[in-house]
């Protein structure tokens, strides 16, 4: 079964800690994306990657970091510099940038 997986589904973090959200896809897609969703707002782009070993900042990249060492994987690290990290995080992928995006199930991050 092809698809995108994100883990964990729920994540709790203490203030001041870094935390890494996993995103894996077996769709052989080149492009991958991280979005943040807050109540009452549309999804906002954090980072995207069009090819291995390359990634670009989105609209709200401050306090986040990513890596793209493998085509299948695009982990997102929420650093302690992110002042308001509690949110729902969605990973997506597409064959190329501009094509239909396929979304993972999301990770809900709660800072305690």
Partner 1 sequence: KNEVEQSPQNLTAQEGEFITINCSYSVGISALHWLQQHPGGGIVSLFMLSSGKKKHGRLIATINIQEKHSSLHITASHPRDSAVYICAVWDTDKLIFGTGTRLQVFP
Task: Please report, as ranges, the residues that interact with partner 1 according to CB under 8 A.
Answer: 40-45, 58-59, 88, 90, 92, 97-106, 108
Closest CB 13 distance from partner 1, rounded Å: 18
Closest CB 80 distance from partner 1, rounded Å: 25
DSSP 8-state secondary structure symbol assigned to residue 73:
B
Decide if 102 contacts 93 (C-beta within 8 A).
Answer: yes
Q: C-alpha 81: how far from its chain's center?
A: 17
Distance separating alpha carbons of residues 35 and 58, to the nearest angstrom: 9
CB closer to partner 1, 52 vs 88: 88
Closest CB 88 distance from partner 1, rounded Å: 6
């Amino acid at each position: 079964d092809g698809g995108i997986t994100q883990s964990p589904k729920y994540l709790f973090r203490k203030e001041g800690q870094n935390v890494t959200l996993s995103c894996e896809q077996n769709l052989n897609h080149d492009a991958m994306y991280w979005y943040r969703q807050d109540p009452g707002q549309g999804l906002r782009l954090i980072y995207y990657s069009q090819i291995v070993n390359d990634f670009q900042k989105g609209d709200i990249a401050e306090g986040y970091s990513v890596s793209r060492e493998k085509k299948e994987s695009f982990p997102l690290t929420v650093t302690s510099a992110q002042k308001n990290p509690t949110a729902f995080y969605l990973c997506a992928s597409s064959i190329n940038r501009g094509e239909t995006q396929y979304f993972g199930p999301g990770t809900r991050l709660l800072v305690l």
